[in-house]
Amino acid sequence: MNATAGYILLVEDEPGIREHLTHILEKAGFRVSAPADGETAMELIKAGKFDLILLDIDLRKWGMDGRLVVRDMRYEGDQTPVILVTGQYLSEADEVVGFEFGADDYIRKPVSGEVFVARIRSLLHRTEAGKRPLARFPKLNAGPDRPLVLGRRTKDAFLKGRALHLKRKPFELFECLMLHPDEVMSREEILDNLPANWINDPRIIDRHMAPLRKALGDDPKSPTYIETVHAEGYRFIGPVEGEE
């Protein structure tokens, strides 16, 4: 067991989930702080001693909203990596707003402990040694000699200087994968990180993967950028660097 795996703040208003998650995270070697009320949680966030914050989006028992918490943190200049844990029944409008508030990853409940730990590890890995999380950069680049550039604000992508002309959905899929380099993401996990106007069926990912691969000239059998991991999902082959 590695005691220095990371110090995690777990903000969750449902005592049952809080207890189980704390147990799972501690078993995985993390140090966990799981406050039992909203005020303590806010004080701990302000104190800012954590490597990562796991934040439930719907904290209605505490009269709080996870998205507003991240927004305020970012507004105050707090750059601690945040994973927003979303529920099942948010309306479309709710979720779209969540994506603009500056969280680094999205996990949808219900989810297994393994997935939780894996996602936390990879976000910690991406942000280790004070590196800024990729989600905080306006541009991303990848590939050998960095031929691939994705403009997140400008909504465009270039391969060796040539524009890729992706439609909206393949672009969003591309952005999501690039934000999680070297991470095997299931179709469900990908969907959790996409705007809510995507149809809630994991297999829709495959439909938009095809034109993306075609634009990249990527052969699924020997991929340079996007690998299909059989029976699991997809993996973007890193490293990916953030760019101003």
Partner 1 sequence: MKRKGWWVLSLAYLVLVVIVATFVWPQNQTLALVLPVSDAILFVGAIGCGLAAAGIALWRLRKERQRLFAETHQLERVIQEQQEFRRTLNHELRNLITAISTGLEHLNDGCDARTLTRCKTDMERLSKLLETVNALGRLETDPIEFTSVNLDEIIQQVLDVVTATPAASDRRFEVDLPPGPFPLPAVRGNEDLLFIALLNLLDNAIKFTDKEKGKITIRAFDDGSTVVLEVCDNGIGIREEDIPNVMKPFFRGQDARDRVGSGLGLYQVRKIVERLGGKISIRSKVGEGTVVPIRLPVSNVTKS
Can you give the binding site for partner 1, defined by CB under 8 A? 88-89, 92, 110, 169, 197-201, 203-204, 206-207, 210
Residue 151 or 202: which CB sits closer to partner 1? 202
Compute the least distance from the CB of residue 211 to partner 1, in Å.
Answer: 9
Residue 121 or 187: which CB sits closer to partner 1? 187
CA distances for 150 relative to 75, 92, 119, 125, 132, angstroms = 25, 26, 23, 22, 17
| 221, two tokens | 């059998």
Which residues touch 4 (CB under 8 Å, ≥6 apart)? Answer: none
CA distances for 43 relative to 19, 39, 56, 117, angstroms = 20, 6, 16, 25
Compute the least distance from the CB of residue 92 to partner 1, in Å.
Answer: 6
The Cα diameter of the chain in Å comes to 52
CB count within 10 Å of CB 48 equals: 13
Residue 142 or 209: which CB sits closer to partner 1? 209
Compute the least distance from the CB of residue 238 to partner 1, in Å.
Answer: 25
CB count within 10 Å of CB 62 equals: 18
Residue 32 or 215: which CB sits closer to partner 1? 215
Residue 76 or 92: which CB sits closer to partner 1? 92
